[in-house]
């Protein structure tokens, strides 16, 4: 019997999960994201007539739209179940118009998690399309289109072809450039410290105390002379415990993750870039096949959110689980208050069921999925647990009128730290002397073992990483949960910013472009102005501001800036970075160029010499067929594979990474490293069965 109801989602993975929850009455299809959008080749916005957008079917989506229309005609009822946010609402609205569905009919269903109960409950309570959400998306899309399409040609003309400006990306680039200027202009200041290694005569154990000042007042040591004067005085001094202050300190757990805090923690703990965190989280949200009775299950709630709210049912389930597994004394149900401009439509990011423990499904997940799910599970579990309690001790030591201080702490009650510890951007050293300090008594005489003078210089502010840039964007109200990852990806791919390990460093191109933007489009790269625009878009979503008013207020001053920039911006020549590769056609040294597909080599003699070539990325491993080097390659869809440098003459290709420094101990063949599920090292030779598990990575 043909399905009577059609449910349309965004992705095939999501469709596959939901299909298993619904009966044969339903057909579940995927729109593959947006199906209708502004045209790529032109502005697509009638600025003169109320900023009316001109939407078209996205190139390559025509066949899919035809199929959806065909299935829609057969269905008695159509549900639009795209993602539960502005973007998802807009996709549903475009689908409704394309499929002749009344947007005011009860056609829209949303769920915060893809579980059987959530999906079935959502279908029982359909609603009409929320036009306030749609209009907030339209306003953002059109604002971004106007900024990009109006400013980019000026950058092409004045700097170089292929550049682009963006409402959020330009501010993010400015933050990175401004930080670089701070670093370059920073003047280090000298200061000194003194550390005394002291021994407790009772226990014969040592600890370190730091110089604080004279007679209990803090004193700064700015040079070697001042420091030597103090140390000379200390060498003949008696070190006596002046006061001991014992106390208790509590630490509260953090709330369950938002998009921002998840991206920050995954960056610090796993070195994940924001885009990777979101890609892995998407797979956990859309569903993973756990086998057995569970089947395919969405493991986490929707991952684009800035809410800290947790559903009452989820909290009750967590309290029961934690009580059973850790004891009632470790449990403390909590509600967390979000910042005032947070969108509270969704919950915080949490496991769909705390009863699905990471360790129980580890073999069903890839390594990245397991690590991220474990992080989300632990953070949520900890958020409903008791405070950690520490015994603290602060010791003040007198040495001939000079004051030294030492402090320490010892865990008294582990509380939530039994489950989760938040990562930080700075490393903290754990004191080894906590137990010694706890055993000291006032007026006790200590033995001086060693005095160490150390010269220091104040440090400039650190460069941004993915984690610290996301934190900065969020704290300044720039962008929203869905924009952090694509913003960073864009400014790196466009060549405005480069990565060095975890640091984000502006390129010359980024600095030049930012200067042009600051001098000619100061509002666009102004942090407060951009944050204000985000607030206005939120007000459109709330229905308190008309979306076209946001555009009509923005455009007149922006247009004046455009006219001025065309006249006043001078042409700037940025020299391409030279490589060591010689062009085999004309003998010039080739230069690095950037396209939307990444860096490549090009001859600087263009247009006389049009030679280009991909950048060679070697593995150091040799091809077992012809002895050539095996190179890293990337498919059109971005998937990494490995192939002989003499391709296509030699057809040797691999999906798994070859090892350069190790051969098979059984047959001497090429060893490969398999990632993902069943991570292992194994022999490429099909006649050899050598393999071993990868055990070196910490779990």
Q: How far is CA 427 from CA 51, 416, 432, 446, in A?
A: 51, 21, 16, 30
Cβ proximity of 385 and 378 under 8 Å: no
- CA 162, CA 696: separation in Å to the nearest integer? 44
Tokens of 622: 């040799």
Set 285, 302, 390, 420: catalytic member = 302
| Three-state secondary structure string covering 451-499 | EEEEEEECCCCCCCEHHHHHHHHHHCCCCCCCCHHHHHHHHHHCCCEEE
Contacts for 356 with CB less than 8 Å, ≥ 6 apart: 290, 294, 297, 299
Contact 671, 682 (CB under 8 A): yes
Taking the C-alpha atoms of residue 547 and residue 137, their distance in angstroms, rounded to an integer, is 9
Task: Give the separation between CA 100 and CA 79, rounded to whole angstroms.
Answer: 13
Q: Given the structure tokens 């040591």, which residue do they identify?
A: 221
The pair of three-digit structure tokens given for residue 84, joined into one six-digit string = 């539960």
Alpha carbon distance 684, 686 (integer Å): 6
Question: Helix H segments across 100-191?
Answer: 116-124, 131-158, 169-185
Instruction: Read off φ and ψ for residue 201, nearest 5 degrees.
Output: -60, -30
Phi, psi for 355 (deg, rounded to 5) = -70, -15
Q: How far apart are CA 464 and CA 182, in angstroms?
A: 12
Show Cβ contacts of residue 652 under 8 Å, excluding neighbours closer than 6 positions: 623, 624, 625, 626, 630, 643, 644
Distances (CA, A) of 438 to 45, 245, 395, 449, 542: 71, 10, 9, 19, 56
Is 302 designated active site? Answer: yes
Residue 104 C-alpha from the chain's centroid: 37
In this structure, are strands 239-251 and 288-289 parallel, antiparallel, or unpaired?
unpaired
Cβ proximity of 486 and 466 under 8 Å = no
Q: Quick check: 239 and 399 in contact, CB under 8 A?
A: yes
Token readout for 419 is: 């489950």
Q: CA 185, CA 556: separation in Å to the nearest integer?
A: 37
Q: Which helix (H) or strand (E) is 447 found in, with range?
A: strand 445-457
Residues 662, 459: Cα–Cα separation, whole Å: 42
Residues carrying an active site annotation: 302
């Amino acid at each position: 019997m043909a399905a009577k109801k059609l449910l349309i989602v965004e992705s095939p993975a999501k469709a596959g999960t939901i299909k298993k929850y619904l009966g044969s009455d339903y057909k579940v299809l995927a729109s593959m994201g947006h199906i209708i959008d502004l045209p790529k080749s032109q502005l697509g916005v009638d600025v003169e007539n109320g900023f009316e957008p001109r939407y078209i079917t996205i190139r390559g989506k025509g066949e899919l739209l035809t199929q959806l229309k065909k299935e829609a005609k057969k269905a008695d009822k159509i549900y639009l179940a795209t993602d539960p946010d502005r973007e998802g609402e807009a996709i549903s609205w475009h689908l409704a118009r394309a499929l002749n569905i009344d947007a005011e009919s009860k056609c829209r269903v949303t769920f915060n998690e893809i579980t059987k109960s959530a999906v079935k409950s959502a279908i029982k309570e359909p609603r009409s399309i929320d036009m306030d959400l749609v209009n907030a998306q339209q306003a953002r899309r059109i604002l971004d289109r106007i900024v990009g399409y109006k400013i980019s040609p000026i950058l092409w003309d004045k700097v170089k072809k292929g550049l682009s400006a963006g409402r959020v990306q330009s501010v993010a680039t400015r933050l990175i450039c401004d930080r670089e200027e701070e670093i370059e202009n920073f003047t280090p200041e000298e200061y000194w410290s003194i550390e005394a290694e002291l021994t407790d005569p009772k226990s014969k154990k040592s600890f370190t105390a730091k110089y604080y000042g004279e007679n209990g007042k803090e004193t700064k040591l700015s040079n070697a002379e001042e420091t030597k004067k103090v140390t000379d005085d200390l060498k003949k001094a008696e070190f006596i415990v002046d006061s001991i202050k014992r106390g208790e300190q509590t630490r509260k757990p953090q709330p369950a993750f938002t998009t921002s805090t998840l991206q920050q923690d995954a960056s610090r703990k796993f070195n994940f870039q924001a885009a990777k965190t979101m890609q892995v989280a998407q797979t956990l949200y859309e569903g993973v096949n756990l086998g057995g009775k569970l089947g395919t299950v969405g493991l986490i709630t929707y991952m684009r959110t800035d809410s800290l709210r947790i559903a009452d049912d989820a909290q009750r389930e967590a309290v029961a689980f934690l009580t059973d597994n850790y004891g009632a004394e470790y449990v403390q149900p909590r509600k967390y208050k979000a910042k005032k401009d947070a969108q509270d439509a969704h919950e915080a990011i949490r496991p769909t069921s705390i009863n699905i423990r990471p360790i129980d499904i580890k073999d069903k997940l890839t390594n990245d999925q397991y690590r991220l799910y474990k992080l989300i599970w632990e953070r949520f579990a900890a958020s409903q647990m008791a405070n950690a309690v520490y015994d603290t001790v602060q010791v003040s030591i007198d040495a001939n009128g000079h004051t030294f201080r030492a402090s320490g702490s010892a865990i008294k009650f582990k509380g939530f730290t039994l489950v989760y510890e938040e990562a930080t951007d700075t490393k903290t050293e754990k004191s080894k002397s906590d137990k010694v300090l706890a055993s000291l008594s006032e007026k006790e005489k200590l033995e001086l073992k060693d005095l160490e003078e150390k010269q220091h210089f104040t440090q400039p502010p650190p460069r941004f990483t993915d984690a610290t840039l996301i934190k900065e964007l969020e704290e300044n109200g720039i962008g929203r949960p869905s924009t952090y990852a694509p913003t960073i990806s864009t400014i790196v791919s466009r060549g405005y910013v480069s990565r060095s390990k975890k640091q984000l460093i502006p390129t010359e191109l980024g600095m030049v472009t930012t200067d042009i933007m600051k001098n000619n489009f100061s509002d666009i790269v102004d942090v407060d102005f951009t944050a204000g625009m985000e607030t206005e878009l939120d007000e459109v979503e709330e229905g308190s501001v008309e979306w076209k008013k946001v555009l009509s207020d923005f455009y007149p001053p922006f247009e004046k800036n455009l006219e001025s920039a065309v006249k006043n911006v001078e042409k700037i020549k940025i020299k391409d970075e030279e490589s060591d590769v010689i062009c085999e056609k004309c003998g010039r040294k080739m230069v690095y160029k950037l396209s939307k597909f990444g860096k490549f080599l090009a001859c600087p003699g263009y247009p006389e010499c049009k030679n280009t070539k991909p950048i060679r990325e070697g593995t150091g491993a040799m091809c077992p067929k012809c002895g050539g080097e095996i190179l890293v390659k990337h498919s059109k869809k971005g998937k990494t594979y490995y192939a002989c440098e003499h391709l296509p003459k030699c057809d040797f290709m691999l999906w798994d990474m070859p090892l350069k420094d190790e051969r098979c101990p059984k047959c001497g063949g090429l060893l490969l490293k398999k990632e993902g599920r069943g991570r292992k090292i194994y022999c490429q030779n099909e006649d050899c069965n050598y393999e071993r598990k990868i055990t070196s990575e910490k779990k």
